[in-house]
């Protein structure tokens, strides 16, 4: 019989590296974005980002083949769309492992080609796409967009928190990401509002992708996690930028909450993770209502 795996052994985060800021969902004039590759990548460089992924609709970006000299590190990417065999419509962002995918492929053909190459598959804006939780579980996506800024600003359908938590009941390793989904449209509300912070030993495509696949990152539309660690067996501790709410979110109605009143702020928080929770994630919120999200804190036992 295998020995039980402790929470400390299963804990996901290793914050000994550096934090690198990135947006991994955006579009250029190669599909339906307004800016070209140089303009779009310069846009994020000027805003202090360390990396991006170009995810044009049905047009793969593969850096080794692009021939462009661009001012920021860019991960290979594409956004797929279409219906699956059950008639459900999806948008799926694929990061890395996208060789040979072309715009004329049906969704399932392109998705399986990406999966066979080890692509990181993200269930994009499930609320805006009209997806059910069952839709997201059907294809074993690695991650879901917990926040999509381009879907939130105009139509109020950018939150994927319900889909994420419901999926975690059955797929407790599913990761969550916050993205811009930027198209750089003129006359559109501000399109910089969702990003990830990846903890990695260096800024390289290999190191960043390794940490993303492990879930060693957090997502934000405002506040920061400075560090996330576990102590005393099951006590998770987070050091943060100033926030007024901290939540440990678990299954169904389970959760824990800490708050500061009268506009005071806290910069550290801690919770004990109950032994019987199949998953737990952290959420923090600042005084202006902006949030940040950890990934599920514990890796699957399997």
- How far apart CA 260 and CA 6 sit, in angstroms, is 32
Domain ranges of the chain: 13-221, 223-302
Report residue 161 CA to chain centroid gap. 11
- Integer CA distances (angstroms), 194 to 110, 169, 268, 271, in order: 27, 25, 22, 26
> How buried is 158 (Cβ within 10 angstroms: 0-12 exposed, 13-18 middle, 19+ buried)?
buried
* Beta pairing partners, 78: 94
Q: Are 191 and 182 in contact (CB under 8 A)?
A: yes
Q: pTM score, two decimals? A: 0.96
Q: 86-98 as b/e, with b when 16 or more CB fall inside 10 Å? A: eebebbbbbbbbb
- Integer CA distances (angstroms), 239 to 12, 193, 243, in order: 16, 22, 10
Query: What does the pLDDT read at residue 5?
Result: 85
Q: Are 107 and 83 in contact (CB under 8 A)?
A: yes
Domain 223-302 has CATH 2.40.50: no
pLDDT (tens place) for every residue of the chain, 302 residues total: 566 789 999 999 999 999 999 999 999 999 999 999 999 999 999 999 999 999 999 999 999 887 778 999 999 999 999 999 999 999 999 999 999 999 999 999 999 999 999 999 999 999 999 999 999 999 999 999 999 999 999 999 999 999 999 999 999 999 999 999 999 998 877 679 999 999 999 999 999 999 999 999 999 999 999 999 999 889 999 999 999 999 999 999 999 999 987 767 999 999 999 999 999 999 999 999 999 999 999 998 76
What is the fold of 13-221? Answer: TIM Barrel (3.20.20)
Query: What does the pLDDT read at residue 189?
Result: 73
Q: Are 269 and 196 in contact (CB under 8 A)?
A: no
């Amino acid at each position: 019989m295998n020995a039980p795996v402790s929470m400390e052994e299963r804990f996901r985060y290793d914050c000994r590296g550096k934090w690198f800021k990135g947006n991994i969902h955006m579009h250029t004039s190669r599909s339906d974005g307004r800016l070209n590759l140089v303009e779009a990548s310069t846009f994020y460089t000027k805003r202090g980002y360390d990396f991006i992924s170009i995810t044009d609709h049905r047009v793969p970006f593969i850096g080794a083949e692009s021939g462009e000299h661009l001012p920021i590190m860019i991960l290979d990417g594409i956004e797929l769309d279409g219906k699956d065999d059950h008639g459900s419509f999806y948008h799926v962002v694929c990061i890395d492992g996208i060789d040979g995918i072309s715009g004329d492929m049906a969704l399932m053909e392109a998705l399986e080609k990406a999966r066979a190459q080890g692509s990181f598959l993200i269930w994009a804006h499930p609320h805006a796409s009209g997806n059910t939780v069952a839709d997201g579980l059907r294809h074993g996506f690695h991650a879901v967009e917990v926040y999509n800024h381009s879907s939130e600003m105009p139509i109020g359908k950018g939150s994927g928190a319900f889909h994420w938590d419901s999926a975690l009941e059955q797929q407790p390793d599913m990761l969550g990401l916050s993205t811009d989904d930027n198209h750089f449209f003129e006359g559109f509300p501000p399109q910089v509002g969702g990003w990830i912070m990846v903890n990695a030993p260096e800024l390289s495509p290999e190191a960043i992708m390794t940490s993303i696949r492990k879930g060693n990152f957090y997502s934000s539309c405002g506040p920061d996690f400075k560090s996330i660690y576990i102590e005393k067996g099951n006590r998770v501790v987070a050091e943060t930028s100033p926030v007024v709410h901290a939540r440990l979110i678990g299954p169904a109605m389970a959760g824990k909450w800490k708050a500061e009143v009268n506009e005071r702020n806290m910069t550290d928080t801690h919770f004990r993770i109950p032994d019987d929770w199949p998953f737990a994630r952290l959420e923090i919120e600042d005084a202006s209502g902006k949030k940040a999200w950890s990934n599920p804190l514990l890796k699957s036992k399997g």
